[in-house]
Protein backbone atom coordinates (compact mmCIF):
# COMPACT_ATOMS: atom_id res chain seq x y z
CA UNK A 1 0.00 0.00 0.00
CA UNK A 2 1.09 3.59 -0.64
CA UNK A 3 0.36 5.43 2.60
CA UNK A 4 0.77 9.09 3.57
CA UNK A 5 1.41 9.88 7.23
CA UNK A 6 0.66 13.49 8.15
CA UNK A 7 2.70 14.47 11.20
CA UNK A 8 4.76 11.38 10.46
CA UNK A 9 8.01 12.53 12.09
CA UNK A 10 6.21 12.91 15.44
CA UNK A 11 6.06 10.38 18.25
CA UNK A 12 3.26 8.05 17.11
CA UNK A 13 3.77 8.76 13.41
CA UNK A 14 7.42 7.70 13.41
CA UNK A 15 6.69 4.38 15.14
CA UNK A 16 3.80 3.71 12.74
CA UNK A 17 6.13 4.46 9.80
CA UNK A 18 8.49 1.76 11.10
CA UNK A 19 5.73 -0.86 11.37
CA UNK A 20 4.41 0.01 7.88
CA UNK A 21 7.88 -0.09 6.28
CA UNK A 22 8.65 -3.41 7.97
CA UNK A 23 5.34 -4.69 6.56
CA UNK A 24 6.50 -3.85 3.02
CA UNK A 25 4.36 -0.74 2.49
CA UNK A 26 5.52 2.44 0.73
CA UNK A 27 5.53 5.26 3.27
CA UNK A 28 5.30 8.99 2.53
CA UNK A 29 5.54 11.54 5.33
CA UNK A 30 4.28 15.13 5.40
CA UNK A 31 5.23 17.23 8.44
CA UNK A 32 5.79 20.93 9.11
CA UNK A 33 8.29 20.01 11.88
CA UNK A 34 6.66 22.37 14.41
CA UNK A 35 7.05 19.74 17.14
CA UNK A 36 9.46 17.15 15.72
CA UNK A 37 12.86 16.79 14.09
CA UNK A 38 13.80 15.89 10.51
CA UNK A 39 16.58 13.66 11.93
CA UNK A 40 13.80 11.19 12.84
CA UNK A 41 13.91 10.11 9.17
CA UNK A 42 17.53 8.97 9.63
CA UNK A 43 16.48 6.93 12.67
CA UNK A 44 13.59 5.30 10.76
CA UNK A 45 15.99 4.40 7.95
CA UNK A 46 18.52 2.97 10.43
CA UNK A 47 15.80 0.73 11.92
CA UNK A 48 14.14 -0.40 8.66
CA UNK A 49 16.85 -0.08 6.01
CA UNK A 50 14.30 1.98 4.05
CA UNK A 51 13.63 5.71 4.16
CA UNK A 52 10.18 7.25 3.88
CA UNK A 53 9.68 9.89 1.17
CA UNK A 54 9.49 13.20 3.05
CA UNK A 55 7.68 16.48 2.34
CA UNK A 56 8.14 19.45 4.67
CA UNK A 57 4.65 20.84 4.20
CA UNK A 58 1.71 22.02 6.28
CA UNK A 59 -1.66 20.25 5.92
CA UNK A 60 -3.28 23.69 5.58
CA UNK A 61 -1.51 24.10 2.22
CA UNK A 62 -4.24 22.47 0.12
CA UNK A 63 -2.44 22.77 -3.23
CA UNK A 64 0.69 21.11 -1.82
CA UNK A 65 -1.35 18.31 -0.23
CA UNK A 66 -3.29 17.74 -3.46
CA UNK A 67 -0.10 17.34 -5.48
CA UNK A 68 1.52 15.05 -2.86
CA UNK A 69 -1.54 12.78 -2.89
CA UNK A 70 -2.06 12.76 -6.68
CA UNK A 71 1.59 12.63 -7.80
CA UNK A 72 2.42 9.69 -5.52
CA UNK A 73 -0.72 7.60 -6.01
CA UNK A 74 -1.51 7.69 -2.28
CA UNK A 75 -4.12 5.06 -1.38
CA UNK A 76 -4.71 5.97 2.27
CA UNK A 77 -3.85 8.72 4.76
CA UNK A 78 -2.99 8.18 8.42
CA UNK A 79 -3.69 11.60 9.89
CA UNK A 80 -1.51 12.38 12.94
CA UNK A 81 -0.76 16.06 12.25
CA UNK A 82 -2.14 18.30 14.98
CA UNK A 83 -1.35 20.36 18.04
CA UNK A 84 -1.89 18.21 21.13
CA UNK A 85 -1.26 19.89 24.50
CA UNK A 86 -4.30 20.17 26.76
CA UNK A 87 -3.04 23.15 28.79
CA UNK A 88 -1.80 25.05 25.74
CA UNK A 89 -5.13 24.53 23.97
CA UNK A 90 -6.91 26.29 26.83
CA UNK A 91 -4.56 29.28 26.42
CA UNK A 92 -4.48 29.31 22.59
CA UNK A 93 -7.79 27.88 21.32
CA UNK A 94 -7.71 29.64 17.94
CA UNK A 95 -4.34 28.09 17.06
CA UNK A 96 -5.81 24.66 17.83
CA UNK A 97 -8.96 25.19 15.76
CA UNK A 98 -6.95 26.59 12.85
CA UNK A 99 -4.30 23.87 12.82
CA UNK A 100 -6.39 20.84 13.77
CA UNK A 101 -9.87 21.53 12.37
CA UNK A 102 -9.20 23.87 9.42
CA UNK A 103 -6.11 21.81 8.57
CA UNK A 104 -8.13 18.59 8.45
CA UNK A 105 -10.83 20.13 6.25
CA UNK A 106 -8.13 21.33 3.86
CA UNK A 107 -6.54 17.85 3.83
CA UNK A 108 -9.90 16.15 3.17
CA UNK A 109 -10.62 18.50 0.28
CA UNK A 110 -7.21 17.66 -1.19
CA UNK A 111 -7.97 13.93 -0.73
CA UNK A 112 -11.28 14.31 -2.54
CA UNK A 113 -9.58 16.12 -5.42
CA UNK A 114 -6.95 13.37 -5.65
CA UNK A 115 -9.47 10.51 -5.40
CA UNK A 116 -8.07 9.19 -2.10
CA UNK A 117 -10.89 7.93 0.11
CA UNK A 118 -9.36 6.19 3.15
CA UNK A 119 -8.34 7.91 6.36
CA UNK A 120 -7.19 6.59 9.72
CA UNK A 121 -7.62 9.48 12.14
CA UNK A 122 -5.57 10.02 15.26
CA UNK A 123 -8.43 10.72 17.67
CA UNK A 124 -8.38 10.68 21.45
CA UNK A 125 -10.17 9.40 24.52
CA UNK A 126 -10.69 13.09 25.41
CA UNK A 127 -13.78 13.04 23.12
CA UNK A 128 -15.64 11.23 25.93
CA UNK A 129 -15.27 14.20 28.27
CA UNK A 130 -15.67 13.36 31.97
CA UNK A 131 -16.50 9.62 32.03
CA UNK A 132 -19.99 8.68 33.13
CA UNK A 133 -18.79 5.10 33.57
CA UNK A 134 -15.52 3.18 33.38
CA UNK A 135 -14.11 1.45 31.46
CA UNK A 136 -14.95 3.60 28.44
CA UNK A 137 -16.69 1.84 25.55
CA UNK A 138 -17.18 3.41 22.11
CA UNK A 139 -20.92 3.82 22.75
CA UNK A 140 -20.22 6.07 25.76
CA UNK A 141 -21.65 9.53 24.98
CA UNK A 142 -19.13 11.94 23.47
CA UNK A 143 -19.09 15.66 24.15
CA UNK A 144 -18.82 17.55 27.42
CA UNK A 145 -15.16 17.81 26.43
CA UNK A 146 -13.11 19.66 29.04
CA UNK A 147 -10.60 21.44 26.77
CA UNK A 148 -10.26 22.87 23.22
CA UNK A 149 -7.74 20.15 22.19
CA UNK A 150 -10.33 17.45 22.86
CA UNK A 151 -13.01 19.51 21.18
CA UNK A 152 -10.96 19.69 17.97
CA UNK A 153 -10.79 15.88 17.97
CA UNK A 154 -14.54 15.63 18.48
CA UNK A 155 -15.27 18.14 15.69
CA UNK A 156 -12.98 16.25 13.29
CA UNK A 157 -14.71 12.95 14.14
CA UNK A 158 -18.05 14.62 13.29
CA UNK A 159 -16.67 15.99 10.01
CA UNK A 160 -15.47 12.50 9.05
CA UNK A 161 -18.82 10.96 10.00
CA UNK A 162 -20.66 13.51 7.84
CA UNK A 163 -18.26 12.92 4.94
CA UNK A 164 -18.76 9.15 5.10
CA UNK A 165 -22.55 9.65 5.12
CA UNK A 166 -22.28 11.83 2.00
CA UNK A 167 -19.69 9.71 0.15
CA UNK A 168 -20.46 6.00 0.48
CA UNK A 169 -17.00 5.08 -0.84
CA UNK A 170 -15.12 7.01 1.86
CA UNK A 171 -13.82 5.12 4.89
CA UNK A 172 -12.69 6.78 8.11
CA UNK A 173 -11.51 4.91 11.18
CA UNK A 174 -11.19 7.17 14.23
CA UNK A 175 -8.74 5.56 16.63
CA UNK A 176 -9.42 6.90 20.12
CA UNK A 177 -6.07 6.62 21.85
CA UNK A 178 -5.59 6.59 25.53
CA UNK A 179 -2.06 7.59 26.70
CA UNK A 180 0.80 6.43 24.45
CA UNK A 181 4.22 6.10 26.10
CA UNK A 182 7.41 4.08 25.58
CA UNK A 183 9.76 3.92 22.60
CA UNK A 184 11.08 1.61 19.89
CA UNK A 185 13.29 -1.18 21.29
CA UNK A 186 16.29 0.16 19.33
CA UNK A 187 16.22 3.41 21.34
CA UNK A 188 16.53 5.31 18.05
CA UNK A 189 13.03 6.81 18.09
CA UNK A 190 10.77 7.82 20.96
CA UNK A 191 8.92 10.81 22.34
CA UNK A 192 11.22 13.82 22.04
CA UNK A 193 9.12 17.00 21.74
CA UNK A 194 10.70 20.38 21.06
CA UNK A 195 10.99 22.46 24.24
CA UNK A 196 9.54 21.44 27.61
CA UNK A 197 7.42 18.26 27.27
CA UNK A 198 3.68 18.54 27.88
CA UNK A 199 3.22 14.78 28.33
CA UNK A 200 4.08 13.00 31.57
CA UNK A 201 6.56 10.35 30.51
CA UNK A 202 9.09 12.40 28.51
CA UNK A 203 8.99 14.89 31.38
CA UNK A 204 9.70 12.12 33.92
CA UNK A 205 12.52 10.83 31.69
CA UNK A 206 14.15 14.26 31.52
CA UNK A 207 13.96 14.61 35.32
CA UNK A 208 15.57 11.16 35.66
CA UNK A 209 18.30 12.28 33.27
CA UNK A 210 18.97 15.42 35.33
CA UNK A 211 17.74 17.77 32.59
CA UNK A 212 14.73 19.02 34.54
CA UNK A 213 14.49 19.60 38.29
CA UNK A 214 11.29 17.77 39.24
CA UNK A 215 8.01 16.39 37.93
CA UNK A 216 4.94 18.53 38.50
CA UNK A 217 2.08 16.31 39.64
CA UNK A 218 -1.03 18.32 38.81
CA UNK A 219 -3.44 17.65 41.67
CA UNK A 220 -3.45 15.01 44.41
CA UNK A 221 -7.05 15.48 45.50
CA UNK A 222 -8.85 13.59 42.73
CA UNK A 223 -11.26 10.78 43.72
CA UNK A 224 -8.68 8.09 42.84
CA UNK A 225 -6.79 5.62 45.10
CA UNK A 226 -3.81 7.95 45.65
CA UNK A 227 -5.46 11.26 44.68
CA UNK A 228 -3.53 11.67 41.41
CA UNK A 229 -4.97 11.34 37.91
CA UNK A 230 -5.44 7.82 36.52
CA UNK A 231 -4.88 7.08 32.83
CA UNK A 232 -4.66 4.08 30.51
CA UNK A 233 -1.04 4.07 29.31
CA UNK A 234 -0.32 2.13 26.11
CA UNK A 235 3.02 1.24 24.53
CA UNK A 236 3.54 3.24 21.34
CA UNK A 237 4.55 0.08 19.42
CA UNK A 238 1.21 -1.54 20.29
CA UNK A 239 -0.48 1.65 19.12
CA UNK A 240 1.51 1.63 15.85
CA UNK A 241 0.39 -1.95 15.15
CA UNK A 242 -3.19 -0.83 15.68
CA UNK A 243 -2.86 1.73 12.87
CA UNK A 244 -1.63 -0.86 10.39
CA UNK A 245 -4.51 -3.20 11.25
CA UNK A 246 -6.94 -0.27 10.98
CA UNK A 247 -5.61 0.51 7.49
CA UNK A 248 -6.25 -3.09 6.39
CA UNK A 249 -9.74 -2.91 7.90
CA UNK A 250 -10.57 0.46 6.29
CA UNK A 251 -9.78 -0.71 2.77
CA UNK A 252 -12.47 -3.39 3.04
CA UNK A 253 -15.06 -1.47 5.08
CA UNK A 254 -16.30 1.90 3.73
CA UNK A 255 -17.99 4.12 6.28
CA UNK A 256 -17.17 5.63 9.67
CA UNK A 257 -15.95 3.73 12.70
CA UNK A 258 -14.62 4.71 16.13
CA UNK A 259 -12.31 2.28 17.94
CA UNK A 260 -10.58 2.58 21.32
CA UNK A 261 -6.89 1.71 21.53
CA UNK A 262 -5.92 1.15 25.15
CA UNK A 263 -4.89 -1.63 27.51
CA UNK A 264 -7.98 -1.62 29.75
CA UNK A 265 -5.79 -0.87 32.80
CA UNK A 266 -5.47 2.48 34.57
CA UNK A 267 -2.34 3.74 36.37
CA UNK A 268 -1.99 6.87 38.50
CA UNK A 269 0.68 9.53 38.02
CA UNK A 270 2.46 8.36 41.19
CA UNK A 271 2.37 4.74 39.96
CA UNK A 272 4.00 5.86 36.69
CA UNK A 273 6.73 7.71 38.59
CA UNK A 274 7.35 4.61 40.77
CA UNK A 275 7.51 2.34 37.69
CA UNK A 276 9.98 4.72 36.02
CA UNK A 277 12.13 4.80 39.17
CA UNK A 278 12.35 1.01 38.90
CA UNK A 279 13.29 1.24 35.20
CA UNK A 280 16.06 3.83 35.69
CA UNK A 281 17.27 2.73 39.12
CA UNK A 282 17.03 6.16 40.76
CA UNK A 283 14.61 8.31 42.71
CA UNK A 284 12.64 10.89 40.74
CA UNK A 285 11.89 14.22 42.40
CA UNK A 286 8.32 15.45 42.14
CA UNK A 287 6.13 18.12 43.67
CA UNK A 288 2.39 18.36 44.01
CA UNK A 289 1.08 21.29 41.96
CA UNK A 290 -2.47 22.64 41.59
CA UNK A 291 -4.85 20.83 39.25
CA UNK A 292 -4.40 21.72 35.59
CA UNK A 293 -7.22 23.28 33.55
CA UNK A 294 -8.99 20.72 31.35
CA UNK A 295 -7.87 17.58 33.21
CA UNK A 296 -10.21 14.83 34.45
CA UNK A 297 -9.76 12.40 37.36
CA UNK A 298 -9.60 9.07 35.55
CA UNK A 299 -10.13 7.27 32.29
CA UNK A 300 -9.30 3.88 30.88
CA UNK A 301 -10.50 1.88 27.92
CA UNK A 302 -12.60 -1.11 27.18
CA UNK A 303 -10.53 -2.29 24.17
CA UNK A 304 -12.76 -5.23 23.21
CA UNK A 305 -14.03 -3.63 19.96
CA UNK A 306 -10.45 -3.36 18.65
CA UNK A 307 -10.00 -7.09 19.26
CA UNK A 308 -13.30 -7.91 17.54
CA UNK A 309 -12.89 -5.68 14.44
CA UNK A 310 -9.10 -5.48 14.02
CA UNK A 311 -7.82 -8.56 15.84
CA UNK A 312 -5.76 -6.14 17.98
CA UNK A 313 -4.88 -6.08 21.65
CA UNK A 314 -2.08 -4.49 23.65
CA UNK A 315 0.82 -6.86 24.29
CA UNK A 316 3.40 -4.75 26.16
CA UNK A 317 3.12 -3.86 29.85
CA UNK A 318 4.05 -0.86 32.00
CA UNK A 319 7.51 -2.24 32.79
CA UNK A 320 8.35 -2.43 29.07
CA UNK A 321 6.87 1.05 28.46
CA UNK A 322 9.11 2.64 31.12
CA UNK A 323 12.23 0.61 30.27
CA UNK A 324 12.01 1.49 26.56
CA UNK A 325 11.40 5.18 27.32
CA UNK A 326 14.45 5.26 29.62
CA UNK A 327 16.56 3.48 26.99
CA UNK A 328 15.53 6.15 24.45
CA UNK A 329 16.34 8.96 26.89
CA UNK A 330 19.82 7.48 27.48
CA UNK A 331 20.40 7.27 23.71
CA UNK A 332 19.49 10.97 23.42
CA UNK A 333 22.01 11.79 26.17
CA UNK A 334 24.76 9.88 24.38
CA UNK A 335 24.06 11.80 21.18
CA UNK A 336 24.17 15.19 22.91
CA UNK A 337 27.40 14.48 24.84
Positions annotated as catalytic residues are 149
Pairing of strands 230-231, 267-268: antiparallel
- Rounded to the nearest 5 degrees, what angle is found at the Cα of 197, between the Cα atoms of 195 and 13? 95
Exposed e or buried b for every residue in 308-322, given b needs 16+ CB within 10 A? eebebebebebebbb
Q: What is the dihedral of CA 8, 317, 245, 140, to 10 degrees?
A: -100
Listed residue (201, 198, 240, 204) closest to 44, CA to CA: 240
Helix (H, G, I), strand (E, B) or coil at 337: coil
**Residues whose CB is less than 8 angstroms from the CB of residue 289 and which lie 6 or more positions away in sequence, other chains included:** 216, 217, 218, 219
Whether 82 contacts 150, CB under 8 Å: no
The span from the CA of 279 to the CA of 275, in Å, is 6
Amino acid sequence: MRVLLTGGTGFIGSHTAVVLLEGGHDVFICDNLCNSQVSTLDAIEAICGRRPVFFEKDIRDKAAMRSILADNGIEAVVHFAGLKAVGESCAKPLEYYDNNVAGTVSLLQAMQDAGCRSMIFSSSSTVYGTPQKLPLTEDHPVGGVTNPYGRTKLVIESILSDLCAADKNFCAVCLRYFNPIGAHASGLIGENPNGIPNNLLPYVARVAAGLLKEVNVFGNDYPTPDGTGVRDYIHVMDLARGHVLALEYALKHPGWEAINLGTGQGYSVLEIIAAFEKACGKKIAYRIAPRRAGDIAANWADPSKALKLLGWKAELGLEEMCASAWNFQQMLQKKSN
